[in-house]
Structure 1
């Protein structure tokens, strides 16, 4: 039950823009032009959202193109949320294989163990993907 509630909470957070700045919102929607526009304004590529979890635009990245742009602009592929989750954890959670491969290819640490993700403490991104049946990720 706790796992289901936490999973719904995370899914809800990923769906809402209430705490997201424009760059986070653009990344979440795979809006490459929107992300570029925010970067052109001087927005920090590693800016954390105004929510409770400290997600960067790379955590929110929905498309490979957005992730590539963020990484090329200096996004930290190992940035940690308050729970210790990296962008790789989020790519695994969402079944985004291309983004996971891109992150790993750019130095993402596959051995980072978060504090808690969806009620499962101390889990790597690979463990999470397998647990969710996202073995392609």
Structure 2
């Protein structure tokens, strides 16, 4: 297994690499939510993979505060801490419109988890 991991913490004091960041909420709003779909197509479903090596909660919290989180049908990833999970449960409890599902799924073990990539039909 030759997989590599990333970290924001220097472990071996190796070479520092600068990586350009983006405002994911702004990108999501302009690229995904504002896209034009062909007439006659069924409504689209939006699925997002979150695999940010332990920083998933920061990004997902940003999506919540920026108001785009509930536009996503399914978010799956590996590193959802308890505080984020509780915040999402509270959001869904007090929202009549947020139907976003968040599932923990390790992509390295997908073949063992047998997760079906099917989103139930909306009742809207």
After TM superposition, the score normalised by the length of structure 2 is 0.36
- Greater helix content: 1
- Greater strand content: 2
Higher relative contact order (CA 8 A, sep 6+): 2
